[in-house]
C-alpha cells in the first residue's frame, strides 16, 4: 500500500470514530432524565436559602435554620420599623432630628462604617434612612431608633416583638445596627448585656426580607440605588450586584437586583440578603458566613442563576376549576337540592422544570351542606396546592399563600313556606310510614 492510500484509510477511521462519539453523546443526552439536566446548586456559604418572593416557597436551602450573627442584615428590621412608623403617621420622610451623643460617638469611630454625622444639625428621616440602607451607616440607624422609640433599648423591644409578629424563628435582636454589643462601650441598650450579639438564621432573614419587600416595596427604590448624595458627599452602596455600580464594581452587576442588605463583622463573616426580579418573577436569597465580600456575591449569583433558569411561574389550576368528585354541595331548604362549586381564582406558583406533575389540588370546605338562601360566588372553603416532589419542604410564611377561595357557581333561593311545609309534612309521614313498616316487619 502506498503512502497516500495509508493516509486515506487513517483519515476514514478517524472520521468514523468522531461520528460514533457524536452519536453516543447525542443518544446519552436524549436518554438523560430531564431533572438530571438541572442539577441543584452548590454553595460555599455556611448557610443559605432561596425563596420565591411572591409565595414564600423555599426553592433551595442549606443549613437554613442555623443561627448565626447577621451583622448589618440586622438593619432590615430597623428599615421595616421606620417604614411602619411612616405608614402609621408617627413620623414622615420630612421629619427632622438631631444626633445625640451616642450615635455621634459611633459615627466618629473610624472602625465603623459611617457617613460622618454632625451634632446640632437637623437631619431628615429620608436622609438618615438612605445613609443606613445604602451605605450601611450604623450611627444613622441608632438615630432613627432613638427618634421612633425614645431609646435604642425600647427600639430593641419593638424589633423582637415585630419579629414574633412576622412569624420569624431563630432570631435575637439586641441593637439596631448589627454591631456586637461589646463594640458599643457604655451605650449597651437597656435590657441587653455587653456580651450579647444579634442572631438570625438564613430562614429568619428571608422571612424578614419577604415582609419588607411585600409590605413596603418602596424600600427597594432606596436599597437599589447605586450611589447618592448625603450632606454634600457621595455615598456608595455596599451591594455590588446592583446594575450601574461605578468602576470595577460593575463586574458584579446582576440583572434585576435592587436590594437588599449586606453585612460584615469579624464574628459574622460576610453575609448578604439579596433580591432580584426578572420577567415578573422575584427571588429572595440569603447567604451567611462567606469568606469574602466577593464570595457573598458570587454565591448569591449561583442561587439566582439556579432560581431563574430552573423555575418559572405557571398557572396550574385555572379560575373555575372543579375538583373531581367534589363538584357540588348539597343544599337544604332551597329550590334546588345542590349547587356547583369551583375555584374562585387561578392557582399559580413557581415550578421547577420537569415537576409540573408533582402538584395536586385539595379542598378544605367549611361545611358539608349549605342552607338556602345561597348567593352566587359565596365562599364555601378554600383550595390549596399540594406538592409531592423533591424540592425542600417548606414555606417561610406561616399561612400558605398557595390557596384560593372555593365558591358557588350560582345562587339558590330559599324555598317558599308552602313547599317547606309540604316537605316537612312529607318528611313526617315518610318517617311515620317507615316506622310502621319496621313495626310490621317485627311482627313477622
Which residues belong to the active site?
72, 75, 136
> Rounded distance, CA 55 to CA 210, Å?
9
Nearest of 130, 214, 133 to residue 166 by alpha carbon:
214
Give the CA angle between residues 60, 62, 63 to the nearest 5°: 140
The residues that bridge with 383 in the sheet, in sequence order, are 363, 404
241 neighbors 252 (Cβ within 8 angstroms):
yes
- How far apart, in whole angstroms, are the C-alpha atoms of residue 370 and residue 331? 5
280 bridge partner residues: none
Q: Is the peptide bond before 260 cis (omega within 30 degrees of 0)?
A: yes
Does 242 sit behind a cis peptide bond, omega within 30 degrees of 0 on the bond before it?
no
Q: 12 is written with which cell numbers?
A: 476514514
For 22, the grid coordinates are: 457524536
Pairing state between β 281-290 and 257-265: unpaired
Amino acid at each position: 500500500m502506498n503512502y497516500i492510500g495509508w493516509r486515506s484509510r487513517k483519515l476514514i477511521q478517524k472520521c468514523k470514530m468522531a461520528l460514533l462519539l457524536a452519536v453516543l453523546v447525542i443518544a446519552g443526552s436524549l436518554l438523560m432524565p430531564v431533572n438530571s439536566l438541572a442539577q441543584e446548586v452548590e454553595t460555599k456559604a455556611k448557610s443559605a436559602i432561596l425563596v420565591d418572593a411572591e409565595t414564600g416557597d423555599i426553592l433551595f436551602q442549606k443549613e437554613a435554620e442555623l443561627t448565626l450573627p447577621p451583622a448589618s442584615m440586622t438593619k432590615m428590621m430597623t428599615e421595616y420599623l421606620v417604614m411602619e412608623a411612616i405608614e402609621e403617621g408617627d413620623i414622615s420622610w420630612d421629619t427632622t432630628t438631631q444626633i445625640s451623643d451616642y450615635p455621634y460617638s459611633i459615627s466618629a469611630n473610624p472602625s465603623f462604617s459611617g457617613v460622618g454625622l454632625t451634632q446640632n444639625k437637623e437631619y431628615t428621616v429620608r436622609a438618615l434612612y438612605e445613609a443606613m440602607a445604602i451605605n450601611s451607616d450604623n450611627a444613622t440607624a441608632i438615630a432613627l431608633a432613638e427618634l421612633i422609640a425614645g431609646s435604642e433599648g425600647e427600639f430593641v423591644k419593638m424589633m423582637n416583638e415585630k419579629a414574633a409578629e412576622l412569624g420569624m424563628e431563630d432570631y435575637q435582636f439586641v441593637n439596631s445596627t448589627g454591631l456586637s454589643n461589646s463594640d458599643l462601650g457604655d451605650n449597651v441598650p437597656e435590657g441587653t448585656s455587653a456580651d450579647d450579639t444579634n442572631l438570625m438564621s438564613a430562614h429568619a432573614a428571608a422571612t424578614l426580607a419577604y415582609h419588607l419587600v411585600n409590605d413596603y416595596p418602596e424600600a427597594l427604590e432606596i436599597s437599589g440605588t447605586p450611589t447618592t448624595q448625603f450632606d454634600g458627599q457621595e455615598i456608595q452602596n455596599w451591594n455590588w450586584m446592583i446594575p450601574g455600580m461605578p468602576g470595577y464594581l460593575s463586574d458584579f452587576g446582576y440583572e434585576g437586583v435592587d436590594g437588599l442588605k449586606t453585612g460584615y463583622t469579624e464574628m459574622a463573616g460576610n453575609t448578604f440578603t439579596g433580591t432580584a426580579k426578572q420577567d415578573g418573577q422575584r427571588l429572595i436569597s440569603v447567604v451567611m458566613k462567606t469568606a469574602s465580600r466577593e464570595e457573598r456575591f458570587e454565591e448569591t449569583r449561583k442561587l439566582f442563576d439556579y432560581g431563574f433558569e430552573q423555575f418559572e411561574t405557571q398557572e396550574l389550576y385555572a379560575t373555575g376549576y372543579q375538583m373531581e368528585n367534589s363538584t357540588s354541595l348539597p343544599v337544604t331548604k332551597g329550590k334546588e337540592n345542590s349547587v356547583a362549586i369551583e375555584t374562585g381564582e387561578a392557582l399559580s406558583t413557581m415550578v421547577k422544570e420537569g415537576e409540573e406533575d408533582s402538584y395536586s389540588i385539595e379542598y378544605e370546605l367549611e361545611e358539608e351542606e349549605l342552607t338556602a338562601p345561597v348567593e352566587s360566588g359565596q365562599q364555601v372553603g378554600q383550595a390549596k396546592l399540594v406538592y409531592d416532589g423533591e424540592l425542600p419542604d417548606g414555606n417561610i410564611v406561616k399561612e400558605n399563600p398557595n390557596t384560593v377561595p372555593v365558591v358557588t357557581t350560582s345562587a339558590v333561593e330559599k324555598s317558599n313556606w308552602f313547599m317547606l311545609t309540604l316537605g316537612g309534612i312529607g318528611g313526617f309521614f315518610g318517617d311515620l310510614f317507615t316506622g310502621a313498616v319496621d313495626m310490621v316487619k317485627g311482627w313477622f
